[in-house]
Structure 1
Amino acid sequence: MALLEWASSLTPQQWAFTAVGAIALLHIVPYLWDANRMRKYPGPFLAKFSYLWLGYHSMMGHRSEVVHEMHRQYGSWVRLAPNYLSIADPDALQIVYAHGNGTSKSDFYDAFVSIRRGVFNSRDRAEHTRKRKIISHIFSAKSVAEFEPSIRLHVMSLIEQWDKYTDMAKKGMSGKEGTGWFGKDNWLWFDCLPWFNFLAFDIIGDLAFGAPFGMIETGADAAPVPKGGVIDCKDETEIEHVPAVQIINDRGEFSMSLGVLPPSWRPIVRRLPWFSNGGMAVRRLAGIAIVAVNKRLKTPTDRVDLLQKLMQGKDDQGLPMGREELTAEAQTQLIAGSDTTSNTSCAIVYWLARYPEAQKKLQKELDDELGVEDEIASTAEQVKRLTYLDAVINEAMRLHSTSALGLPRLVPEDGIHVLGEFFPEGAVLGVPSYTIHRDPQIWGEDVEVYRPERWFEQDAVGIQKTFNPFSFGPRACVGKNLATLELQIIISSLLRRYEFVLQDPTKDLPTAEGFLRKPLDCHVMMRRRDA
């Protein structure tokens, strides 16, 4: 009662000073208490006291570049939030993400849950182990080889479409207004990014749900969802078509920006206008998975694909996944399989167009090794022996770093030692791939130059411990083998057939980062090599 009387007696100015003082104490006391032993590490001033610094730069879409600049300014250890430390040292990878060290995914991953937790955002170690046992065999090298016909089919569909456009370009024809392409001087001028999105979505749609989305055929970003929002995984409803690529982009930005903030802030922050599109994107993305899984389960088939293998998988108790869990895992594969492949494919073409000597060397290897073959799309047997192709892909993944941020790991009960430093329970650590991929001690002083030859020159041990496109340890990307095969077939098939040049050689590849770092466009000139 006395407290209420005191509060009611305050003037508006006193209330304002009281509120400011309370907010200051909430930030200053934890800093002084230093429960996570991070006060000694340098970093942006605001980041020492508040999550606002990291939240702001996550929203702005260039977090990894900003964090990289912080490491250039402060060194290998940078405090990015009150309980989050970024460690830009390749040796830290083996500790922070290693098997048996006890670290787990932080509450950052809670922001990525929609239908239910999947293998990507499961934080419980036992549950993650259970899921991974069911899923991991699906992505073994032997199993992934069974997906090759589907990958090649959609690559051939893309080539058929591009051949039509290049034939029209040779005649000086242009697309209808709004199509974004035109022919000039025997070259096709267009933005290739949407087409890599269409290709990746059709491949993963075929593999994860039993049928492609038909984006290559229509040249449009469209996928079916329940009209009006998400439905129960078993319900029927009216369907509408939405832009799936944009939905995944919006969802990544939303979940990334929300995930870096404390859980107690999230219910309030969700109500802010900036987050409204992201919330809708989460619901629509779940709807895409629900519609696709429902459609597939209505028409049983013995075809070999991810969904069939997920349905056949069983845990240690001999139990298969339930309908809801199956849908959640299929959604995970849709996101991971579309976003990473399209972004990386586009980045590879950009760098090859920017560095024509590398493009010519790759095409010579393709001609020498595959020149007598008749296949439009390369085969897994052909690409596995192409060493320069692998260097081209790896160098683009190093520079572009689709998964660029330092994935956050929570220190366990007993704490851990990292490079001579001890961190207690509750501290959050991450190793930023974008920055270690630019470590001059590993990669040389020309780290910003696209040079595939470095993969034959650099210290193999140094590269092995530093190159981190698929993360590291027990929670690394389970789809690495599938992604690698896709990139090998896509890039070898397209570069064997086409020549690429940048429309503006002075322009850097524009990017934005949600959870993944993505190109915004890639305007190139393309022509058939036999033209």
Structure 2
Amino acid sequence: MPTAYPPSAMSIMDADFTNVLIILAIVVALGHVVPYLVDPHGAKNIPGPFLAKVSDAWLGRVTAQGHRSEVVHDLHKKHGKFVRIAPNHLSIADPDALQVVYAHGNGSLKSDFYDAFVSIRRGLFNTRDRAEHARKRKIVSHIFSQKSVLEFEPHVRLYVRQLIEQWDRLCDLAAKGMSGDEGNGWKGRDGRLWLDSLPWYNYLAFDIIGDLAFGSPFGMLTACKDSAAVAISHQDAMASYGKADTLKVNYFPAVQILNDRGEYSASMGVLPVWFRPFVKNLHPWYRNGSKAVKDLAGLAVAAVAKRMTSPTDRVDLLSKLQEGKDDEGKPMGREELTAEALTQLIAGSDTTSNSSCAITYYLALYPDVQAKLHAELDEALGNDDPVSTFDQVKRLKYLEAVINEALRIHSTSGIGLPRVVPEGGMTVCGKTFPEGTVLSVPTYTIHREKAVWGEDVDVFRPERWFEIDQADINKAFNPFSYGPRACVGRNLASMELLIIISSILRRYHFLLEEPEKKFDTREGFLRKPVECNVGIKRRD
């Protein structure tokens, strides 16, 4: 039977509970107000939203809403170069700050923001320890040298060809006025194929990086579907290495998992470390994100385990990761190898698909730019093979300008990447910040610096790349970050975009279905298009 308490005892318990809540509220309030008043980082006079000055809740809410870069950009337009976006996080919108905050040898470290991106174990991207990062980069960096990247070109061209074959097939059906449901649906109208190009670029990017990172594609292009195998149990998957047909998997939408994981981790990373376990378990949106982190790790575990059951001598990212050794001559273990393969999957799929989609959108929006690119490609490329080679397109100036302008205006990585000021402090743009202060430089805003890019910064205009001094471009163009933690895969990303965009634009003409509609994005760690509905017509 339940214990019966006398009224007086119940009153005492109620009073005690009330007192606990009051004490807790006071502790929380003091924990935010006292640091604001004491101002250990000398940030009290730096402008920003009041809630951001006393709590991480402001940045947490903004990040979860999916438009952090735009919100911070508006704050910089209002307040100027320095903006406070959290009690101990200052955003600095100045190209000169890039060379200081992210410089080689400045002693700064990644902040605890990156802890929220760890799943299997720390990889090259989320390792915060300087010595461990140097060890990992030594193993990984040679894989992405220009010479090594060229060995991956046949894999890239294979899947670009598959995409073209699929679009050619649908163009033929659309010319007959037919419609279908492949790739989230398509329709034929006015002699064009109308579809959302974003899912198709996702399929392409996932199949390319699946082949490179795990030894085989996910088969999304052939299935016209977002689906990939995810290991049910990480422990069983690790144990199944080298044992065929023992791995148990489920099939999940990998692109959606990746999107959910990115939004979750970026939102979790801006919250206090002590608060993360509570919100992860209590809030349904964060619970779903936590599941996405596990599912994405399971995808990598399943893919690597599958590859290990069938050894091969093919040249790809995974084989090169297996060959890599640190200063002591030690290779990566299974778990570390899987974590690095997962890092390559995330970095290599999101960036390629998002950028390809954005480039397609802006070319469709600006028909004069599309016409100029068509002319350059027609002159440089023959009709023998619809898929370009890297050697054919690597020196095409207008193509390069189109890609760079899209990377500028649609900054795939737009948020300021947080760094912790080292011992001795750091002086940036005339202000000195003490040890422990978190600083970041928002790429989205730097790419809209009028002093560098001109007054028309919000216009997609590739011609600006022939007008601006190269020194200013080097200082302000930041698509792959800067310094020792810059994107190690930029050579691969550049090769992929050159081949993809040249091949697709040489073969097709694009129109926007709703040209007046804003190009909507949603941001987690990366800014991703929501959709890109275009009309496609074959040019030959």
Give TM-score, length-normalised by structure 1.
Answer: 0.96
Deviation at 1:273, TM superposition (A): 1.3
Q: Which of the numbers 320, 332, 342 marks the counterpart of 1:321?
A: 332
Contact 2:374 2:506 in 1 (8 A): yes
C-alpha contact 1:230 1:287 (8 A) present in aligned 2: no
- Matched residue, 1:394: 404
Q: Is the 8 A contact 1:110 1:259 kept in 2?
A: yes
In the alignment, what sits opposite 2:251?
241
**Per-residue deviation at 1:22?**
2.9
* AA at the equivalent of 2:206: F
Pick aligned residue for 1:80 from 81, 85, 95: 85
1:162 aligns with 2:177: no
Q: Which among 270, 292, 310 is matched to residue 281 of structure 1? A: 292
C-alpha distance in 1, partners of 2:17/2:230?
Answer: 50
Which digits, 9 at most, give the CA deviation of each residue in 1:213-246, with x for residues without a partner?
Answer: 0000000000001236775523443211100000
Instruction: After TM superposition, give the deviation of residue 122 of structure 1 in Å.
Output: 0.3
Matching residue's letter, 2:172: D
The answer to whether the 8 A contact 1:181-1:189 is kept is yes
Match of 2:315 in 1: 304
Matches within 5 A, 1:39-438: 39-176=44-181, 179-227=184-232, 231-235=236-240, 236-271=246-281, 272-370=283-381, 372-438=382-448
Q: Aligned equivalents of 1:49 and 1:77: distance in 2? A: 17
Q: Check conservation: 2:354, 2:529, Cα contact below 8 A.
A: yes
Give SS of 2:143's match: helix
Cα RMSD between the aligned structures? 1.6
Aligned with 1:375: secondary structure? Answer: coil
State the match for 1:516 in structure 2. 526
Describe the shift of the 1:253–1:345 C-alpha distance in structure 2 as closer, same or farther (beyond 3 A): same
Return the alpha-carbon distance in structure 2 between the equivalents of residues 13 and 237 of structure 1. 53
Residue 229 to residue 520, structure 1, CA distance change in 2 (3 Å):
farther
Query: CA 1:487–1:230 in structure 2 vs 1: closer, same or farther (change >3 Å)?
Result: farther
Q: CA deviation at 1:177?
A: 9.1
User: SS of the counterpart of 2:485?
Assistant: coil
Percent identity between matched residues is 63
SS in 1 for 2:274: coil
1:466 aligns with 2:476: yes
Asked if the contact 1:255–1:515 (Cα under 8 Å) also holds between the matched residues in 2, the reply is yes
Q: Which secondary structure does the structure 2 equivalent of 1:264 belong to?
A: helix
Map residues 441-460 of structure 1 onto 2, 5 A cutoff: 441-460=451-470
Report the residue type matching 2:174 in the other structure.
A
Alpha-carbon contact 2:60-2:270 (below 8 Å) kept: yes
What is the identity, as a one-letter code, of the residue corresponding to 1:447?
A: V
Residue identity matched to 2:286:
F
2:491 pairs with 481, 500, 513, which one?
481
C-alpha separation in 2, matches of 1:233 and 1:254: 26
Cα distance in 1 for partners of 2:159, 2:273 equals 42
| In 2, Cα distance between equivalents of 1:385 and 1:231 | 48
Distance in 2 (CA, whole Å) between partners of 1:163 and 1:237 is 37
Q: Secondary structure at the match of 1:512?
A: strand
Secondary structure (helix, strand or coil) at the match of 2:255 reads helix
Cα deviation digits, residues 500-521 of structure 1 (max 9, x gap): 0000010111110011100011
Distance 2:54 2:180 in 1: 54
Contact 2:356 2:501 in 1 (8 A): yes
Q: Which residue matches 1:4? A: none
Residue equivalent to 2:450? 440
Give unpaired runs (5+ residues) of structure 2.
1-11, 241-245
Cα offsets for 1:363-414 (capped at 9, x unmatched): 10000111x3512210010011101000000000101101000000011122
Does 2:512 correspond to 1:507? no
After superposition, the C-alpha distances for 1:229-269 in whole angstroms (9 at most, x for unaligned) are 77552344321110000000000011011000111111111
SS in 2 for 1:38: coil
**Aligned-pair CA distance for 1:12:** 6.9
Q: Tell me the amino acid that sits aligned with residue 397 of structure 2.
A: T
In structure 1, C-alpha distance between the alignment counterparts of 2:500 and 2:14, rounded to whole Å: 71
TM-score by length of 2: 0.94
CA displacement, residues 416-475 of structure 1 (integer Å, 9 cap, x when unaligned): 111221111111000000001011111111000000000001121111100100000000
- Displacement of 1:161 in angstroms is 0.3
> 2:531 corresponds to which letter in structure 1?
D
- Aligned partners of 1:77 and 1:504: how far apart in 2? 38
1:86 is paired with a residue of what secondary structure? strand
Instruction: For residue 322 of structure 1, report the CA deviation from its aligned partner.
Output: 0.5
Aligned partner of residue 233 in structure 1, secondary structure? helix
Specify every segment of 5 or more residues in structure 1 that has no aligned partner in the other structure, as ranges.
Answer: 1-6
Matched residues in 1 for 2:14 and 2:261: separation? 46
Once the 2 structures are TM-superposed, how far is the Cα of residue 74 of structure 1 from its aligned partner?
A: 0.6
Return the alpha-carbon distance in structure 2 between the equivalents of residues 396 and 303 of structure 1.
Answer: 34
**CA gap 1:29/1:503 in 2 versus in 1, 3 angstroms:** same
- Partners of 1:443 and 1:155 in 2: CA distance: 33
